[in-house]
Amino acid sequence: MTTTDSILPPPVGAAPPGRPRRRRSLAHTKLPVLVIFLPPALLLFTVLVILPMGEAAWYSFFHWNGYGAPSKWVDLRNYQLIFRNAAFKTALINNFLIIFVSIVIQLPLALWLATMVTKRIKGALFFRLIFFLPYVLADVAAGMIWRFVYDGDFGLVAGIWHFFGAEPPFLLADPDTAMPAILAVVVWKYFGFHMMLFIAGLQAIDRSILEAADIDGATGWQKFRLVTLPMLGSTVRLSVFFAVIGSLQLFDLIMPLTGGGPANSTQTMVTFLYNFGVTRMQVGFGSAVGVILFVICVTLAFGYKRIFMKND
């Protein structure tokens, strides 16, 4: 072999010397980390998540008040009673109504305000803080505040109606107005969270693209529809995901406002579980409601991610 042959590069497609050894070394480096950190995390997840879900599914087949060991096996009777219950049907409708209002009203409002406060205008940071404050407020505290606002005797609504010389309504005491009043509070409470998501997405857009659209003579609406909104696609999909899952789990805001009343007109699936399962000591019945809620949440979450967020 000549001297020049010893310095020729390896043939195309040949693995560089030492590469397999490096991969093996990386595998040996990760193995101790997995052995140390994975078992404790897996143990905590099993004890705090997997086992409670399994117990709830098991208790849902019993007529049990929570005392002693469950012994009265009722098969699928709890599930049959749930779907025959008019209050549960109302709760299911209310949950999907909250999802609809969140997607149709709350998210467009959050996106519009995000586009406003991301512009270089005086006081933009102040308005971001003001709009985000309702989300920072605890749900129970927000419910108590709005219960006073809606009070027909001494609340803000009563004061406004008295100012115009009219008899104030009791919004939370009327089954026809209680749910719309709660929907208004839901939009007020959570739009700030989605606004911050949209602000983060807007700040990640390359300004040169918008400047190029300006040079091409695009109007403000054309820039938003053809440039901004498509580039916010992943953020919009994530915001919708949070809105759907959060709407199904709504509980803390409703309990101080109406507690699910009047006449069960403002029940959601979680308040229904609490009112008909926990407070009435029907643990088996409440466990069945929890299983149904879990199945709905998991189905929507995985289905949504599979269909709309598979490339995100």
DSSP for 206-274 reads -HHHHHHHHHTT--HHHHIIIIIHHHTHHHHHHHHHHHHHHHHT--TTHHHHTTT-STTTT--HHHHHI
Residue pair 216/250 in contact by the 8 Å Cβ criterion: no
Listed residues 31, 59, 87: the one ending a domain: 59
Residue pair 279/300 in contact by the 8 Å Cβ criterion: no
Does residue 7 fall inside a structural domain? no
Residues 212-228 as b/e (b if ≥16 CB within 10 A, e otherwise) read ebeeeebeeeebbeebb
Q: What are phi and psi of 73, to 5 degrees?
A: -75, 125
Same domain, 38 and 155: no
How many domains, the chain?
2
At 296-312, the pLDDT tens digits run 999 999 999 899 888 77
Average pLDDT over residues 198-223: 87
Q: Which domain holds residue 218?
A: 78-308
Listed residues 7, 26, 59: the one ending a domain: 59
Cα(228)–Cα(224) distance, rounded to whole angstroms?
5
Does residue 66 fall inside a structural domain? no
Instruction: Indicate the DSSP class of residue 174.
Output: S
Same domain, 84 and 53: no
Same domain, 218 and 248: yes
% of the chain residues with pLDDT over 70: 91
Count of Cβ atoms closer than 10 Å to residue 52 Cβ? 11
Same domain, 33 and 144: no
Cα(63)–Cα(230) distance, rounded to whole angstroms?
52
Least confident window among 8-22, 40-54, 64-78, 278-292: 8-22
Same domain, 178 and 284: yes
Does residue 1 fall inside a structural domain? no
At 223-245, the pLDDT tens digits run 888 888 989 999 999 999 999 99
Q: Is 60 exceeded by the pLDDT of residue 285?
A: yes
